[in-house]
Chain A
């Protein structure tokens, strides 16, 4: 892939501005929250599985927030904090729909909200089965060989001789964007423009239009080709293909859902390891542990600790009356530390036996990118361990802190090596 050969031309200042958790770009999702929400979540969860109110209000964060399910000022809001309640709501998409309009959006409206994220029932199943084959575990190697590995090593090439680096923005942030845009066939100079244009979907569509047209003409070994060629025959024998608008919407969903989350989760994992040099040394020794460390980071501090569902009929849920039309916020951050499911849940412990968490959700809308995200983190962190001996936090720099309410992540991760 010659497109990613010039990674060094990425403008680091632009990267920093776009990915700074505290910048105004991210303030809308509670980027100005700097406390540790977990003690309050533990109290709330201990008191009741489900509470009236939003997660940020109940946590004591006064700022306005817009995120999945927020603000919707005209609807009643409830929040679930236990594993069992969040898991049940995720799995029951008839009572707990993934969008306010359970019927789903109009097909020719291009945006993330018109993607399958907000579709329900059969329509979601049909659409998802067209794209799912590119995102199964067996396809992880395709993503790694085509886009992830090269991106990761080019980024490390950029700082390997310096003896120091800032891993959050200069490394973790760039990997998912370049992986996804690379899989679209978008040249690297345009990758950051795409990141910047996320709020203006028509600009991204303009960039994708010629690529989609070219791949319909002559497919290549990339994601857009897979999307335009995907076929699905339903039970009535009708064959479905994705329209151009559906390809654009899916591309936008991948960018919106995949780039920020994987970046921040990788930063959280790297930080958790650097803060525990003995654990880092153990992972360096035994690479089997890297996978467990990634799973543990997803449990211990999922970057998006809340997603929402819309209640489609009056229901008594864990002792609380939820009226039809209410928004139920699922605090998976709290659910993932439920003592009913994990021993010493507050502890970051890479030696836990495998057990599913809610970091990628559950039910029919479970994160389609989860295996690609895991591959990006494993290849990225594995390469850091391979190439940067004696990797450690820079003792003279400000240590990384975890911030953010609905998009959590590390501040900066200044490291030394060699």
Chain B
């Protein structure tokens, strides 16, 4: 499948995020902090899907979720 048709949507619950940085440890190409030290998605395709799943699981407050994933190959 061509690249532009691959999508991945990751939601950050800003209420729950407490800025721990765990997601950045496991998926540094995907997550960063904004000025309020809340997680933001800088590139939904920035890491392998496994790394993103690990980062979501690692979030200590359950602030992250994968809302859609349509990756092939």
A residues with a Cβ closer than 8 A to B are 90-91, 125, 128-129, 132-133, 135-138, 353-356, 361-364, 366, 370-371
**Contact assessment for B51 and A91 in the assembled complex, using a CB-CB cutoff below 8 Å:** no
- If A125-B18, A354-B54 touch, whether A363 touches B26 (CB-CB below 8 Å) is no
- Judged by DSSP, the binding face of A is helix
What's the minimum C-beta distance from B48 to chain A, rounded to whole angstroms?
A: 11
Chain B residues with CB under 8 A of A370: 21
Please report the total number of B residues contacting A with Cβ < 8 Å.
20
| A133 and B62 contacting across the interface, CB-CB below 8 Å | no
* Residues of chain B lying within 8 A (CB to CB) of residue A355: 54
- Known contacts: A91-B62, A132-B37, A138-B33. The answer to whether A366 contacts B22 by CB under 8 A is yes
Taking the closest CB of chain A, its distance from the CB of B32, in whole angstroms, is 8
Residue of A nearest to B20 (CB): A366
Bound: A79/B28 CA distance, A: 35
Q: Which residues of A contact B61 (CB under 8 A)?
A: 91, 363-364
Q: A133-B37, A137-B25, A363-B60 are in contact. List 10 more A-B contacts (CB 8 A).
A: A136-B21, A136-B24, A136-B33, A137-B28, A354-B26, A354-B54, A356-B22, A356-B57, A366-B22, A366-B60
Q: A136-B24, A363-B60, A364-B61 are in contact. Are A354 and B51 (CB under 8 A)?
A: yes
Residue of A nearest to B36 (CB): A129
Residues of B participating in the A interface, judged by any CB pair closer than 8 Å: 18-22, 24-26, 28, 32-33, 37, 50-51, 54, 57-58, 60-62
- Interchain CB contact under 8 A, A133 and B19: yes
Measured between beta carbons, the chain B residues less than 8 angstroms from A125 are 18
CA–CA, A125 and B28, complex, Å? 24
- What are 9 A-to-B residue pairs whose CB atoms are below 8 Å? A128-B18, A132-B18, A138-B24, A138-B32, A354-B54, A356-B58, A364-B18, A364-B60, A366-B20
Residues of A within 8 A of B19 (CB): 128-129, 132-133, 136
* Interchain nearest-CB distance for A299 vs B (Å): 13
Q: Which chain A residue has the least Cβ–Cβ distance from B57?
A: A356
- A366 partner residues in chain B, CB cutoff 8 A: 20, 22, 60
CB-nearest residue of chain A relative to B31?
Answer: A137
Shortest distance from the beta carbon of B68 to any chain A beta carbon, whole Å: 23
CA distance A138 to B42 in the complex (A): 14
Give the Cβ gap from A19 to chain B, nearest Cβ, in Å. Answer: 28
Whether A356 pairs with B54 at a CB distance below 8 angstroms is yes
Cβ distance B3 to chain A, nearest Cβ, rounded Å? 25
Expressed in whole angstroms, the Cα–Cα distance for A311 and B25 within the complex equals 31
Kindly list the 4 A-B residue pairs having the minimum CB-CB distance in the complex, ordered from nearest: A356-B58, A366-B60, A132-B19, A362-B60
Whether the pair B18, A137 counts as a contact (CB closer than 8 A) is no
